[in-house]
Amino acid sequence: MTCCPHPARQAPGRDGDRRTTGRTLSVVRESAPEPEVEISHELVRRLVRAQFPDLADLPLGEQVEGWDNVTTRLGPELAVRMTRRAAAVELADREIEWLPRMSPGWTFPAPVPVHVGAPGHDYP
């Protein structure tokens, strides 16, 4: 579980991937794999309360499911991102390590983690 500043609203990942082919723009839609872990608002709330009590009173908002992760809005400025498949854990760990190192020189905002949680409360 990571809490990051919420990026500017973008189209959810499940709407497909837009690719340019010559002069035409096509939308490629692939079926996402079944989640190995169901991530509900209740699970997010339990984990936030247990691991980040200072954030526990922030309201939970929109929840978007992607290919490997579920992102849940936490208050007006944060988002909680949780992996829903074991195959995504290693990638998430790399992002947690490298985003803070790489992003300072970027000219665009990046969702750099401000809190990193751990498994618990029925979340592996």
- CATH code assigned at 65: 3.30.200.20
Residue 17 inside a domain? The answer is no
- Residue given tokens 């007006």 in the structure block: 76
pLDDT-derived band at 76, boundaries 50, 70, 90:
very high
- Strand bridging mode 60-65 / 69-74: antiparallel
Q: Do residues 118 and 41 touch, judged by C-beta distance below 8 A?
A: no
What residues make up the domain containing 93?
Answer: 1-6+38-124
Residue 112 inside a domain? The answer is yes
Closest by CA to 33, choosing from 52, 14, 48, is 14
Q: Which of 27-41, 55-69, 81-95 has the lowest mean pLDDT?
A: 27-41
